[in-house]
Structure 1
């Protein structure tokens, strides 16, 4: 451990410079797949009419994943090997059939519009009563709930793949656990009926937050960031790679449902003919094929000027795995993708460590991570550990790549994949699992009145206090953003997160990093819950990174920061992209691959009219001044919007006053409750 610390410190000193140079202005990727990316393949990796199929090894078992897992021509319909976790069922299984039929009939009666016994709030009351029926079945006969879910799906035509989506092999087991543990007639149920059942209940207000005694110490008087060193280091930020190992070159890129560029997903209006062949390097409706993945990883060192040196370190804000429909996912596909991509990052990005957070697609079922207390509530220990396989896999990969120590790996296994690293240069990296505040995670709908049922935010606050005590600066890394337009996070946990950031900003929290949206965005945190959002009260900023995947309607991109080596403030950010519109011209040839080009410098693009010292950081105060400039000159929001989609030809304009005001509001919203106060409908360019 001491040896590793010394090496890291020496490397940081060697890389630190008062001014940094970039690499090539543009990078044209090779047209032939680099065969040395993997040791062996199931097919010919240099073929231009199909994607490489590398042999990838499971880090926990040492066994190679079978070709059948990723064969684009034979995608599995439902995994049958993964364990299915259900609460204990006291009822005789022979009685399950009548119970399911009774529950089904009760719910149909509740849904009958001619049933007028529900008062003015009829839709919400019906929904809550239906959840109560489901809860009774989950408590009495847990294995029957997936059967009921499939029947209801078929009857109400929620999906054309009801068994594959809601059966025991998919979401059925998750729904059962949530029904059994949640307060479905109260706050939990109201949120479920708001989010999952067509908004039948109004969204309940955030729970009152009592912060008395929450922090170990009061905030120091006149807390401020340390003085800068004047030396800069390079830090890479990647996000949302979404590798699609099942990508089928020349399959339908204009499919009518789910993930395109898949051999099993045609355009329903033209089943016998491909309308738009999937380009070899990817398309706007598809995730990242191996050919694009390797082109990007080869471009990064050349463009950033880090060939032969590497970055001081890399931040990865989650989502490695493709957007497969639920029935095509499995633990094995998650493990395969994690092993494949983290191996490639180690190979292509140089010697500096990579610090990663779990994305909502880096789990199975997708977006699912359950608090440990669930097993205690339902009386079954394996419900507390049902996602440990993933934390074990990730911690092992990170440790084996020499990015974290064995002690930190043990921390990641115990904290839902989150961990803290106190680097020898004075920076504390804290990663958190934001599935635990993501609104699509079913398990978050248990005990929703609590702001932190998993303890993840308690862990964050304790680590920030340790950083304050040690005189360290901190970077926080997560996946799902905490605010923006409020459409992704839940209210209560992000409200607590906002208060934690306020307590430890600006003297401890130097920067926050998210991904998830696939877009280039930012959000500012203010004192006192943004009751007075101003330059004087701005405390921290979150950088939301562009994605490698083009999904949906975006170009592919990445970012590098110039960072002060003492304060760990960001002094400039550089973003590159490749034009997905040009990929059709690159098929069936090996002369060249995609061209990656420089998009913009953050300081140059947004700082032209902001009075700010040339050596001062791009901190929350600077960003607030930028939003004020947006208010004075609304045309700048159109420039921001172009960058938001990485110069995609498919990004919509934002020129009307409503859109401009909404986006400025999103930029100043760091929590779910604050984001929801903004005018909705302008959050994304997809």
Structure 2
């Protein structure tokens, strides 16, 4: 896209102002002195001899199925609650509505009402304390969540949302169109139109890729994602509570044996106990001792998003990194950042937000420290800036890990300025062009 992006300038401590005049992308770049044209990492991470891996036998008669294609009149061999859901719901219609954002109409209306009310309170001079009290009362009185969840959500999210809304000069229509997406109307907003610069280099001719021969050398790659390890999971606790996350001591005793959390986890509103993650990793280690490398795409903390702190999330990250390092001591691991790593969830301020209470450096600096167990020191610059990096896996094969949280419309900080946050896309273009010059193939994760 092209047009006039917004400008963010820090003129006073902790103050962000928005220039209303459409300006060029070059002017945006002038505010950020970071040089994205960094030397690419060119020392191969894998030095072992290329191997031929024996893959599991494939049943030629097997056919992939989507869950909503299952015959709902037959036994599915799924957990009982899933089986009941399949019989009660027309999942094809549900899938269609989700895919087409039809279910977002309710969210859209709520977003506009809530945003409009908050902006009214901010403009009429209500204090943050008063606004937080109002949000909490709405949450409790409308029975949106339990009082303690309402309190946690208010304390964690309200300050950030109030700050961002107080700096904006756009209204609920533009804000909610950005946050909810197409389901809330495609409202034109000139302050979120911008472009990146492509190098003036002719593109090579596209060549049809041939399928490798059956005995061609191969990688065996393990991909792990969304473990959401819950350190407070408790066997026998209530797995059917009235909160977003259950299976904890704080959820009280189960009302029946059927509502009890199992030893290895529960299919209801619960995250994974450590014993399950340990068992899974041990099984992988025993079954696949010849893994070449691991893709680890984040989302490590549990889903108690109303009850999280920066220290608690960092503790989970450190413990999970230790777990992976001990289980796969000689296997390169290439991580990517999930949206749950931050506290509050989805909160990833771009580099221009550098005040101590709002900066994301608390997370990125620690990720650099933890990821250094597998990544070279040469990527520290980009990891600490925006949690993205590029490494050479083998000669001719590069891996780029992007921080997709700068493309997350639930990241409220992007309402201030969505113009290529952290200059990540411009850096990405430069890396891809360098790879093209070198004849490298590139695998992108995020």
TM above 0.5, one fold?
yes
Q: Does residue 1:432 correspond to 2:402, yes or no?
A: yes
Q: Does residue 1:389 correspond to 2:362, yes or no?
A: yes
Q: Does residue 1:174 correspond to 2:142, yes or no?
A: no
1:600 is aligned to none
Equivalent pair of 2:145/2:243 in contact (CA under 8 Å) = no
The one of 375, 381, 389 aligned to 1:404: 375
1:458 is aligned to 426
* CA–CA distance in structure 2, aligned partners of residues 369 and 202 of structure 1: 25
1:458, CA displacement in angstroms? 2.4
Computed over aligned residues only, the root mean square deviation of the Cα atoms, in angstroms, reads 3.6
Higher relative contact order (CA 8 A, sep 6+): 2
- For residues 470 and 211 of structure 1, do their structure 2 counterparts lie closer, same or farther at Cα, with a shift above 3 Å needed? farther
Which blocks of at least 5 consecutive residues in structure 1 are unaligned?
26-120, 376-380, 479-686
2:53 is aligned to 20
Q: Does residue 1:472 correspond to 2:420, yes or no?
A: no
- For residues 193 and 183 of structure 1, do their structure 2 counterparts lie closer, same or farther at Cα, with a shift above 3 Å needed? farther
Q: Does residue 1:165 correspond to 2:165, yes or no?
A: no
The one of 284, 288, 304 aligned to 1:300: 284
1:245 is aligned to 231
2:78 is aligned to none
Q: Does residue 1:233 correspond to 2:219, yes or no?
A: yes
Query: Helix, strand or coil: the match of 1:237?
Result: strand
Matches within 5 A, 1:47-446: 129-136=116-123, 141-142=127-128, 144-154=130-140, 156-161=142-147, 164-167=151-154, 169-185=155-171, 188-191=174-177, 194=180, 202-204=185-187, 214-218=197-201, 220-224=203-207, 230-266=216-252, 273-285=256-268, 286-304=270-288, 306=289, 310-326=290-306, 328-375=307-354, 381-382=355-356, 385=359, 387-399=360-372, 401=373, 403-415=374-386, 417-446=387-416
* CA–CA distance in structure 2, aligned partners of residues 438 and 133 of structure 1: 26
- For residues 142 and 297 of structure 1, do their structure 2 counterparts lie closer, same or farther at Cα, with a shift above 3 Å needed? same
- For residues 8 and 219 of structure 1, do their structure 2 counterparts lie closer, same or farther at Cα, with a shift above 3 Å needed? same
Count of residues in Structure 1 that have an aligned counterpart in Structure 2? 351
Equivalent pair of 1:244/1:322 in contact (CA under 8 Å) = yes
Query: Helix, strand or coil: the match of 1:243?
Result: coil
1:367, CA displacement in angstroms? 1.8
- For residues 130 and 7 of structure 1, do their structure 2 counterparts lie closer, same or farther at Cα, with a shift above 3 Å needed? closer
Query: Helix, strand or coil: the match of 1:382?
Result: coil
- For residues 235 and 426 of structure 1, do their structure 2 counterparts lie closer, same or farther at Cα, with a shift above 3 Å needed? same
1:350, CA displacement in angstroms? 4.1
TM-score, length of structure 1 as denominator length: 0.46
